[in-house]
Amino acid sequence: MNVSGRIEKIAEYIAFARIADIGTDHGYLPIFAIQSKNVEWAVAADINEQPLLCARENAEAAGAAGIEFRLGYGLEVLRPGEADTIVIAGMGGKQMADILRRGRYVATGARQLLLSPHLDVPFVRREVHALDFGIVAEDMVRDGGKYYNILDVRTSNIQEYDYSEEEYLLGRYLMNTRPPVFVEFCRHMAARYDKIAARIEGAPRLGEAGAVRLAEAVRLRDMYRRSAVNG
Ligand SMILES: C[S@@+](CC[C@H](N)C(=O)[O-])C[C@H]1O[C@@H](n2cnc3c(N)ncnc32)[C@H](O)[C@@H]1O
């Protein structure tokens, strides 16, 4: 099955043979993982019936065996330890955090969580630490003109909590390994904050609130610039 670069990149990080994809929608990730990776068994779960029907049809059409389809909220569809890797991708960070908090017992029973929020990535990094989990790797992919983060989270033997504010914003692992998409993302964000700063500066009257917004835009622009150049 041909899947997007984003789904392919997430699948690259799957470390175990028994997986669950929470919020599976079309089911592309478990289908691809069963067919192209060392995945033997998968749960494809969704809170809505329609996506689950679609996932089942896609799996049948692709001839992918070994997928169970489960309807329900977040991790409530799983028993602890049933899946070693739990994937949650393509939803906002706040929603993801809610799923992890409500299903903490199940999340802790897995060995790996692959999280790819499309919003509020720094918030997810903080939540991972608040739940006593750790980020062992992180990657970025550009797909359809958008940037996506992939957090490889482990649930035991964690030795990292001392992130700085900048590391929560950018990702410690990305800052250290500097994959090309991350550097490109930093350049993109620096240009964006440069434009925002210029717009605020160009306004007829800056005022106190404007000055605060300008300082913040300049701070973020400079942070992304530094990260794009030297890390
Ligand atoms: C935008 S799709 C993402 C699909 C796929 N994971 C991906 O990354 O391409 C989000 C899916 O998550 C499902 N969803 C939203 N909240 C959920 C929850 N609390 N539990 C399970 N599924 C949920 C939605 O029904 C939808 O099918």
Instruction: Give the tens place of pLDDT for each residue, 91-112.
Output: 999 999 999 999 999 999 999 9
Residue 26 backbone dihedrals phi, psi, to 5 degrees: -70, -15
Is the distance from the beta carbon of residue 54 to the nearest atom of ligand 1 less than 6 Å? no
Q: Which of 91, 106, 116, 148 to mutate to test the pocket of ligand 1 (most atoms within 8 A of CB)?
A: 91
Ligand 1 atom 24 nearest Cα: 23
Q: The domain at 5-171 falls in which architecture?
A: 3-Layer(aba) Sandwich (3.40)
Residue 213 belongs to what H/E stretch?
A: helix 207-229
227 compared with 1, residue with greater pLDDT? 227
Using CA atoms, how far apart are residues 107 and 89, in angstroms rounded to an integer? 15
Using CA atoms, how far apart are residues 58 and 114, in angstroms rounded to an integer? 22
pTM above 0.75, yes or no: yes
**Which ligand 1 atom sits nearest the alpha carbon of residue 116?**
8
The per-residue pLDDT for range 51-92, each reduced to its tens digit, is 999 999 999 999 999 999 999 999 999 999 999 999 999 999
Is the distance from the beta carbon of residue 30 to the nearest atom of ligand 1 less than 6 Å? no
Say how many residues make up the chain.
231
Is the distance from the beta carbon of residue 89 to the nearest atom of ligand 1 less than 6 Å? yes
Q: What is the mean pLDDT of residues 117-128?
A: 96
pLDDT the model gives residue 205: 84
pLDDT the model gives residue 206: 84
Is the distance from the beta carbon of residue 174 to the nearest atom of ligand 1 less than 6 Å? no
pLDDT the model gives residue 82: 97
pLDDT band at 197, cuts 50/70/90?
very high
- Structural domain boundaries in the chain: 5-171, 182-229
Whether 231 has a pLDDT exceeding 70, the answer reads no
Is the distance from the beta carbon of residue 23 to the nearest atom of ligand 1 less than 6 Å? yes
Tokens 């590391």 correspond to what residue?
Answer: 167
Whether 149 has a pLDDT exceeding 90, the answer reads yes
pLDDT the model gives residue 16: 97
Ligand 1 atom 13 nearest Cα: 23
Question: Could you tell me the end-to-end alpha-carbon distance of the chain, in angstroms, rounded to an integer?
Answer: 37
Using CA atoms, how far apart are residues 90 and 124, in angstroms rounded to an integer? 13
